[in-house]
Amino acid sequence: MYLLFCLGMIAMLFYSCESTTVLLANFNLESVGSPPNTAQPTGTLTLNKGSGLITVVTAPPGVTTPNKWALISHPAQPAPETELIGNFTQWGMGSYGLLCSMNIPSSSGVVTVQFDAATGLGSFMHIDFMPEGDLRIDDNESLRFGTYPRGANFVLSVALVITETTATADITLLGDGASGNKLVTVNPALLTVAKQFGKCTFWVGFQHNSSFYVDDILVTRKK
């Protein structure tokens, strides 16, 4: 219940800032056992399964919820990464808010949320959810923080402000057993990429044996 309260309050805050929704992906109207639909309520999804699976499921194990989720899973052996990519309806500089529900089982390895250019220039920042139950930014061990519950639902909130001269990300974890906040400055060498922000990617790298669940992906933008 607290998780739903957090999700609702943050969503209302995003909407109250006269922002435009540029991505809204959820799976309640989709078929269990099938891949998520490309077309979403707002924006689209690209599925790069690699050697893994991306599937609509009823809920994570042990979780009682009326919502359907997307399950992203990847095998142990070195193999092509598995990616669910959210493509925005608008992109470029501005103030963005990313909000989503996640659930990472206790047996899972590293899973990643990544922030990408719409134009194919690559990524400008990523967040690793570590097996130890904390977060790491851009593979930098000095930028580890927070805590999230393994095998339980929590909320990831990221507020990005991207201007002509700088880009920052304010990262927050919410929900029962989740806590932590960190404000980071995007690497200035990647500012050109950040200024073309238009995708977010939920993925597992080629070297990891990981599975995780994601739902209610909301991205808003204010120019």
Give all domains of the chain, ordered by start, each with its CATH number.
2-222 (2.60.120.200)
Q: Of the candidates 150, 149, 168, which has an alpha carbon nearest to the alpha carbon of residue 159?
A: 168
Give the per-residue SS3 of 159-182: EEEECCCCEEEEEEEECCCCECEE
Mean pLDDT, the chain, integer: 91
The helix (run of H) or strand (run of E) holding residue 8 is: helix 2-16
pLDDT digits (tens, 9 = 90+) for 172-199: 999 999 999 999 999 999 999 999 999 9
Q: Of the candidates 169, 181, 170, 218, which has an alpha carbon nearest to the alpha carbon of residue 43?
A: 218
Looking at the predicted structure, is the pLDDT value of residue 47 above 70? Answer: yes
Given this model, what pLDDT does residue 1 score? 41
Average pLDDT over residues 105-128: 96
Looking at the predicted structure, is the pLDDT value of residue 83 above 70? Answer: yes
Give, in order, the Cα–Cα distances in Å from 10 to each of 24, 78, 100, 197, 218: 14, 38, 10, 21, 10
Kindly indicate the confidence band of residue 75, based on its pLDDT and cuts at 50, 70 and 90. confident
Supply 62's token pair: 């042990």
Average pLDDT over residues 127-136: 98
Kindly indicate the confidence band of residue 104, based on its pLDDT and cuts at 50, 70 and 90. very high
Higher pLDDT, 208 or 91: 91
Kindly indicate the confidence band of residue 49, based on its pLDDT and cuts at 50, 70 and 90. very high
Kindly indicate the confidence band of residue 17, based on its pLDDT and cuts at 50, 70 and 90. low
Kindly indicate the confidence band of residue 42, based on its pLDDT and cuts at 50, 70 and 90. very high
Higher pLDDT, 209 or 123: 123
User: How crowded is the C-beta side of 28, counted as CA atoms within 13 Å?
Assistant: 8
Looking at the predicted structure, is the pLDDT value of residue 21 above 70? Answer: yes
Given this model, what pLDDT does residue 3 score? 47
Question: Any idea how long the chain is?
Answer: 223
Check: pTM over 0.85? Answer yes or no.
yes
